[in-house]
Amino acid sequence: MSYISRTLDISLPAGQSAFLWGPRKTGKSTYLKKRFPDSLVYDFLKTDLRFEFIKRPSLLREELLSQSDTVLKEPIILDEVQKVPQILDEVHWLIENKGLSFIMCGSSARKLKKSHANLLGGRAWRFELFPFTSHEIGTVDLLRCLNHGMIPVHYLQNNYKRSLKGYVNDYLKEEVFDEALTRDVPAFSRFFEAVGYTHGQLVNYSNIARDCGVTAKTVKEYYNILVDTLVGILIKPFKKREGRQIIIKAPRFYFFDVGTAGILTQREILETRGELFGRAFEHFILMELLAHRSYTEKDYPIRFWRTKSGLEVDFVLGDGDIAVEVKGTERAGSKDLTGLNAFIEEYSPEKAITVTCERARRVSGKIDVIPWRLFLDELWSGHII
Give pLDDT, residue 237: 94
- Give SS3 for 371: strand
pLDDT at 152 (0 to 100): 95
- Closest of 287, 22, 24, 279 to residue 135, by C-alpha: 287
What is the band of 113 on the pLDDT scale with cuts at 50, 70, 90?
Answer: low
Assign 46 a pLDDT band (cuts: 50, 70, 90): very high
Q: Which residues pair with 315 in a beta bridge?
A: 324
- Residue 116 scores a pLDDT above 70: no
List, for residues 118-153, the tens digit of each pLDDT value: 567 678 899 999 999 999 999 999 999 999 999 999
Q: Which long-range contacts (CB under 8 A, 24 or more apart) does 123-126 make?
A: 123/17, 123/92, 123/95, 124/17, 124/18, 124/19, 125/12, 125/16, 125/17, 125/18, 125/19, 126/18, 126/19, 126/21
| pLDDT the model gives residue 241 | 66
Q: Please list the residues that pair with 323 across neighbouring strands.
A: 316, 352
Mean predicted confidence (pLDDT) in 295-322: 95
pLDDT at residue 240, as a whole number = 79
Alpha helix (H) ranges present in the chain? 28-35, 47-55, 58-64, 69-72, 87-98, 110-114, 134-137, 142-148, 152-156, 160-166, 173-180, 185-197, 205-212, 216-228, 258-264, 275-295, 338-347, 372-380
pLDDT for 199 equals 86
* pLDDT > 70: percent of the chain: 92
- 2-26 mean pLDDT: 92
- Please state, in angstroms and rounded to a whole number, the distance separating the CA atoms of residues 285 and 210: 32
C-alpha 148/C-alpha 257 separation (Å) is: 9
Confidence of residue 269 (pLDDT cuts 50, 70, 90): very high
Look at residue 322 and tell me whether its pLDDT is greater than 80: yes
Indicate the range of 25-29, 170-174, 265-269, 353-357 predicted with least confidence: 170-174
> pLDDT averaged over the chain?
90
Domain locations along the chain: 17-128, 134-380
Which residues contact residue 373 at a Cβ distance below 8 angstroms, ignoring those fewer than 6 apart?
A: 140
User: Which one has a higher pLDDT value, 159 or 51?
Assistant: 51
| Euclidean distance between CA atoms 121 and 108, whole angstroms | 18
Looking at residue 179, its pLDDT comes to 61
Provide the residue count of the chain: 385
* Domain 17-128, CATH homologous superfamily name and number: P-loop containing nucleotide triphosphate hydrolases (3.40.50.300)
- SS3 of residue 306 by DSSP: strand
What is residue 327's predicted lDDT score, i.e. its pLDDT? 97
- To the nearest 10 degrees (0 to 180), the angle between helices 185-197 and 205-212 is 130
